[in-house]
């Protein structure tokens, strides 16, 4: 595609340094997505400018006026320290009539409350665990329809915040303790849902009107401690040393029949349409022993570091990381009704190239 002026927005503490030299593994991990996006966009020939946002949108308005970006690459995962405010930043960009990447404000709003997204799934007959929400200030009272074991999480926080092995409870006393923990530590209501004993499955989705489900990815646990459950805790998600110690890896989900594979990929596209997600997303599922996939949550604008699930599953489907970022830019421009110029890339398999052209409405040079 042609060279673009790209304004990348993220939290101020996640703006990448000029070099990774001398940084610890932990420091590199903290900005890996931003580093990968900045360096790859520049390698793709785009003019890139970064902007850290947290408490004030005035710098964004000023950067739009001064830099005049063709598109904003939205990596913001919170504003004012709250994940729910991210939808308003997207709304601000809509009001400025500036194209941006990722999911629009309506899709973010419908997706980022686990209770609302699950209600919509249930209405559309998409399998989802039974659940109840416990508002802040109330004690947990388990409905009879909810049978142990149960898992307790924040309604709104993402990135596995507040999730540990203790999140799965099997008594009313432990349930009450864990709900209080979510209220006190995270300051959000708690969602209590049926624990699905099974496999942790992720499926990336690309597209606006026409959706493409990427290969089915699985979070695998090869060296769990005795008695530990295969769940994506905070340590599993973010602690590099813990990942190494417990053999936490992700990769292509194996042993799935073609019928089940098609069922899962069709299901995640239905989830995105129900939640009005566009751009790119990741749908998290649990697959039980009977082969039933359960919707757990939707992640609009998920982690897109080159080493993470979405990028790796795209690579398995023949989309390199540089091509993935250009595809995300193309989808943002398409939604805004901007013309897209496509340059042939011989590294893509022909069938993947044809799908990209059909999906993004691409004009060929």
Whether 260 is in a domain gets the answer yes
Separate counts of helices (H) and strands (E) for the chain? 13, 15
Verify that 68 and 27 share a domain, yes or no: yes
Choose one of 194, 212, 231: the last residue of a domain.
194
Verify that 145 and 202 share a domain, yes or no: no
What integer best gives the mean pLDDT of the chain? 91
Verify that 76 and 183 share a domain, yes or no: no
Verify that 213 and 359 share a domain, yes or no: yes
Model confidence over 320-338: pLDDT tens digits? 999 999 999 999 999 999 7
Phi then psi for residue 203, to 5 deg, are -135, 120
Of 248, 263, 261, the closest CA to residue 309 belongs to 248
Verify that 207 and 312 share a domain, yes or no: yes
Verify that 134 and 215 share a domain, yes or no: no
Whether 123 is in a domain gets the answer no
Strands 190-194 and 198-207: unpaired
The neighbouring-strand residues paired with 250 are: 219
Whether 120 is in a domain gets the answer no
Which domain covers residue 24, as residue numbers? 5-102
pLDDT the model gives residue 93: 98
pLDDT the model gives residue 340: 57
Of 323, 332, 301, the closest CA to residue 108 belongs to 301
Model confidence over 253-294: pLDDT tens digits? 999 999 999 999 999 999 999 999 999 999 999 999 999 999
Whether 93 is in a domain gets the answer yes
Verify that 189 and 229 share a domain, yes or no: no
Query: For residues 86 and 92, what is the distance between their CA atoms, to the nearest angstrom?
Result: 10
Task: Report the CATH number that the domain containing residue 318 is assigned in CATH.
Answer: 3.30.470.20
Task: Please spell the DSSP secondary structure of 299-353, one letter per residue.
Answer: EES----TTSHHHHHHHHTT--HHHHHHHHHHHHHHHTT---EE---TTS-HHHH
Residue 354 reports pLDDT greater than 80: no
Residue 21 tokens, joined: 């030299």
CA–CA distance from 245 to each of 222, 238, 269 (Å)? 10, 13, 35
What value does the mean pLDDT take over residues 227-253? 90
pLDDT the model gives residue 339: 59
- Is the alpha carbon torsion for 316, 322, 326, 329 positive or negative? positive
**Total domains present in the chain:** 3
Query: For residues 263 and 342, what is the distance between their CA atoms, to the nearest angstrom?
Result: 32
Whether 212 is in a domain gets the answer yes
pLDDT the model gives residue 158: 82
Verify that 160 and 60 share a domain, yes or no: no
Residue 10 reports pLDDT greater than 80: yes
83 versus 88: the higher-pLDDT residue is 88
Whether 115 is in a domain gets the answer no
Model confidence over 135-177: pLDDT tens digits? 999 999 999 999 999 999 999 988 788 899 999 999 999 999 9
Residue 112 reports pLDDT greater than 90: no
Whether 9 is in a domain gets the answer yes
% the chain with pLDDT above 70: 93
Task: Report the CATH number that the domain containing residue 62 is assigned in CATH.
Answer: 3.40.50.20
Verify that 138 and 87 share a domain, yes or no: no
Choose one of 194, 219, 243: the last residue of a domain.
194
Verify that 21 and 169 share a domain, yes or no: no
Choose one of 50, 83, 102: the last residue of a domain.
102
Task: Report the CATH number that the domain containing residue 185 is assigned in CATH.
Answer: 3.30.1490
pLDDT the model gives residue 157: 86
Q: Which residues of 297-329 are buried (b: 16+ CB within 10 A; e: fewer)?
A: bbbbbbbbbbebbbbbbbbebebbbbbbbbbbb
Model confidence over 173-226: pLDDT tens digits? 999 999 999 999 999 999 999 999 999 999 999 999 999 999 999 999 999 899
Whether 116 is in a domain gets the answer no
Verify that 48 and 141 share a domain, yes or no: no
pTM of the model: 0.89
Verify that 267 and 247 share a domain, yes or no: yes
């Amino acid at each position: 595609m042609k060279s673009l002026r790209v304004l990348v927005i993220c939290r101020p503490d996640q703006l990448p340094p000029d070099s990774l030299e001398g940084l610890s593994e932990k420091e590199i991990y903290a900005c890996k997505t931003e580093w990968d996006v900045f360096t790859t966009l520049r390698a793709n020939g785009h003019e890139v400018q970064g902007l850290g946002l947290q408490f004030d949108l005035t710098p964004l308005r000023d950067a739009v006026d001064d830099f005049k970006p063709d598109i904003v690459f939205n990596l913001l995962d919170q504003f004012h320290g709250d994940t729910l405010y991210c939808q308003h930043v997207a709304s601000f960009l809509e009001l400025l009539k500036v194209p941006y990447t990722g999911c629009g404000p309506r899709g973010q709003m419908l997706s980022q409350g686990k209770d609302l997204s699950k209600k919509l799934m249930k209405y559309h007959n998409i399998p989802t665990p039974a659940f109840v929400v416990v508002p802040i200030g109330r004690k947990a009272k388990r409905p009879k329809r909810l049978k142990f074991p149960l898992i307790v999480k924040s309604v709104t926080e993402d990135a596995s915040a507040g999730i540990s092995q203790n999140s799965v409870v099997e008594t009313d006393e432990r349930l009450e303790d864990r709900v209080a923990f979510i209220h006190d530590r995270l300051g959000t209501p708690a969602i209590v849902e049926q624990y699905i004993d099974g496999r942790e499955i992720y499926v990336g989705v690309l597209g606006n009107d026409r959706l493409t489900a990427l290969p089915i990815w699985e979070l695998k646990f090869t060296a769990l401690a005795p008695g530990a459950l295969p769940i994506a805790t905070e340590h599993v998600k973010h602690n590099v040393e813990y990942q190494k110690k417990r053999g936490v890896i992700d990769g292509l989900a194996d042993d799935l029949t073609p019928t089940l594979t098609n069922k899962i990929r069709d299901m995640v596209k239905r989830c995105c349409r129900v939640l009005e997600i566009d751009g790119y997303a990741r749908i998290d599922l649990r697959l039980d022993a009977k082969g039933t996939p359960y919707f757990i949550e939707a992640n609009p604008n998920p982690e897109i570091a080159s080493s993470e699930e979405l990028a790796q599953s795209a690579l398995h489907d023949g989309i390199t990381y540089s091509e993935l970022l250009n595809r995300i830019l193309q989808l943002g421009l398409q939604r805004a009704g901007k013309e897209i110029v496509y340059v042939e890339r011989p590294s893509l398999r022909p069938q993947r190239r044809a799908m990209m052209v059909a999906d993004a409405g691409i004009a060929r040079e």
